[in-house]
Amino acid sequence: MVLGVYCFRNDLRLHDNPALQLAREECDQLLLVYAFEDRLWRTKKPKRISAHRARFTLDSLKCLEKKIIKLGGALHFLHGNIESSIPPFMEQVGATLCFVSDENAWEEKEAEDELSRMVNLRTIYSKTLLHLDDLPFDLEALPETFSNFRKLVEKQWIVRSSLETPDTLDLSPNPVSKLPNLRELGFNNPPAPPSDYYRFEGGTIAGRKRVERWIWEENCILNYKNTRNQLQGADFSSRLSPWISNGCLSPREIYWEIKKFESHFEANESTYWLNFELLWRDFFHFSARLHGPKIFKSRGIHPERPPITEPQNAGSLFSQWNDGRTNDLFINAMMHELRKTGWMSNRARQISASYLINDLGLDWRKGAQWFEEQLIDYDPCSNYGNWLYLSGYGNDPRKKRHFNVAKQAELYDPEGNYLRDWVRVQNSPISN
């Protein structure tokens, strides 16, 4: 009898999970585990996960656990990095094979490599909308710019079908372990968000409810291309990123949902545009996979470009930025929104990042690290990829992208509503 271990990482779902499918095929019995990795959960300065994301992840695990219990199994919780917690666990239970979803970011890949030296490990790819093996070029030949990438993949657009949730899993009776709560993991409750639309609930069920509402009930997708650059509101963009980032939803299930909507109702530029944004995500993921540790270095994938020279008071400028105490109220509003809710629109992310890089003259990695700590939808490839892109050391032919903050405020907050809302919050204490 083959006993295997399936370790969930940023793929917190049973459906559309090819690694789990392979594990089912290759093992007579499976043990399902999630490891609270020290490299994420035990970090202090800087913290790599906020209370918002910690709470969202715990919700997601709770939802996953319930689904597994319904199938007659249990989710086992380990503590420690996968390479240190899985091998002794496998030895203890007598498992001979381990399965994980293949990640694209460097640190996660290093952990996979380390684990594969210790146990019989199978990694299976499913991270992106387009499968790595379906790209019309080798990864080494990934175009340097998004527009060239897009031109090539759009000529030969293959999206594999999304896999159903398995009806049964041959689950081994697990040794029982309990899902820890926020406090046990060292977090306080996150600050209460000022509006309901910031209340992201983790888990596949809540993620699918959002898809249902945004696409099918409110038909917001039909106008997405016109609304997506807004700063404020419940529905101007899909707000699916938290579920996509931790894998409660897969990008390709969203793609197929949109196709279904298009065939039932209408296909327009906006319905296309959501998938176009998912292609940006793919691009940053493939780029991270190709460039490995480079995307975390100050000169990124362009070490030949001039280095960053920070001003002498870089430390205090950075604290002013992240505390929302700069000379610019619009930027301060964004930084308060981020801290208080764990979320910001794409436009606000771009403007506040450009301000740190161009107006304050700071190393982009300071900002990227802050976003890593704060964002509820943090994803290493999307976060570091976007920051690097804006900094002029990444996949952008135009070197630095400098946003004129006053102009952006005029364009995207002409009545000053966003600013007013967050200035009000500015005066109340923030703690997380």
Nearer to ligand FAD, 67 or 285 (CB): 285
Which of 11, 112, 253, 277 lies at the binding interface for ligand FAD (CB under 6 A)?
Answer: 277
> Per rule CB under 6 A, is residue 356 in the interface with ligand FAD?
no
Q: Which is nearer to ligand FAD, 399 or 424 (CB)?
A: 399
Beta strand pairing status for 29-36 and 75-79?
A: parallel
Half-sphere exposure of 134 (CA within 13 A, CB side): 17
- By beta-carbon proximity to ligand FAD, the closer residue of 209 and 424 is 209
Is 280 one of the binding residues for ligand FAD (CB under 6 A)?
yes
Lay out the site mask for ligand FAD across 113-152 (x = CB under 6 A, - = otherwise): ----------------------------------------
Residue 190 or 342: the one with the smaller Cβ distance to ligand FAD is 342
Rounded Cα distance between 111 and 101, Å, is: 12
- Cβ proximity to ligand FAD, 85 vs 287, nearer residue: 287
For position 278 contacting ligand FAD by CB under 6 A, the verdict is yes
CA distance 400 to 358: 8
What stretches of 324-426 show up as alpha helix (H) in DSSP? Answer: 329-341, 346-354, 364-374, 380-391, 405-412, 417-426
Q: Looking at beta carbons only, is 99 or 286 nearer to ligand FAD?
A: 286
Could you tell me which of 376, 339, 346 has the C-alpha nearest to residue 236? 346
**C-alpha span between 79 and 82 (Å, rounded):** 8
DSSP run (H or E) holding 408 = helix 405-412
Smallest distance from the beta carbon of 352 to ligand FAD, in angstroms?
Answer: 8
Check residue 353 for interaction with ligand FAD (CB under 6 A): yes
Give the nearest distance from C-beta 290 to ligand FAD in angstroms: 16
Interface residue with ligand FAD among 30, 244, 334, 360 (CB under 6 A) is 244
Among positions 251-270, residues that touch ligand FAD (CB under 6 A) are: none
Query: Contacts with ligand FAD in 376-395 (CB under 6 A)?
Result: 377-379, 382-383, 386-387
Contacting residues for 50 by C-beta, under 8 A, at least 6 apart: 190, 342, 373, 374, 375, 376, 432
User: What minimum distance in Å lies between the beta carbon of 31 and ligand FAD?
Assistant: 30
Pick the closest to residue 228 from 273, 183, 287 (CA basis). Answer: 273
Interface residues for ligand FAD in 183-242 (CB under 6 A)? 228, 237-241
Binding to ligand FAD in span 357-376, by CB under 6 A: 371, 375
Task: Write out the two tokens for 19.
Answer: 């690694």
Segment (H or E) for 350: helix 346-354
Among 29, 84, 116, 346, binds ligand FAD (CB under 6 A): 346
**Shorter beta-carbon distance to ligand FAD: residue 51 or 240:** 240
Contact 27, 3 (CB under 8 A): yes
Cα 125 to Cα 101: distance, rounded to the nearest angstrom: 6
Cβ-Cβ contacts under 8 Å for 342 (sequence gap 6 or more): 50, 52, 53, 56, 190, 198, 200, 374, 375, 376
Of 24, 349, 365, 366, the one binding ligand FAD (CB under 6 A) is 349
Stretch that binds ligand FAD, among 11-19, 272-280, 319-327, 413-421 (CB under 6 A): 272-280
The footprint of ligand FAD on this chain (CB under 6 A) covers a number of residues equal to 28
Strand order of the sheet with strand 29-36? 75-79, 29-36, 3-8, 97-102, 121-125
Percent helix, strand, coil in the chain, to 5, is 50, 5, 40
DSSP codes of every residue in 8-29:
ESS---SSS-HHHHHHHHH-SE
Region at 203 (left for phi over 0; alpha for psi -120 to 50; beta for the rest): left
If the CB atoms of residues 99 and 403 are measured against ligand FAD, the closer one turns out to be 403
Nearest alpha-carbon partner for 364 in 399, 402, 391, 333? 391
Our finding on whether 302 is near ligand FAD (CB under 6 A) is: no
Indicate the residue among 167 and 217 with the shorter CB distance to ligand FAD. 217
- Can residue 281 be called a binding residue for ligand FAD (CB under 6 A)? yes
Please identify which residue in the block is written with the tokens 């070197």: 399
Q: How far is the CB of 346 from ligand FAD (least distance, A)?
A: 3
Cβ contact 426:332 at 8 Å: yes
* Residue 246 is a binding residue for ligand FAD (CB under 6 A): no
* Residue 322 sits in the site that holds ligand FAD (CB under 6 A): no
In the complex, the smallest distance separating the C-beta of residue 246 from ligand FAD, rounded to whole angstroms, is: 10
Shortest Cβ 287–ligand FAD spacing (Å): 11
Query: How long a stretch of residues is the chain?
Result: 432
Q: Is 337 in the site for ligand FAD (CB under 6 A)?
A: no
Binding residues for ligand FAD (CB under 6 A): 228, 237-241, 244-245, 274, 277-278, 280-281, 284, 345-346, 349-350, 353, 371, 375, 377-379, 382-383, 386-387
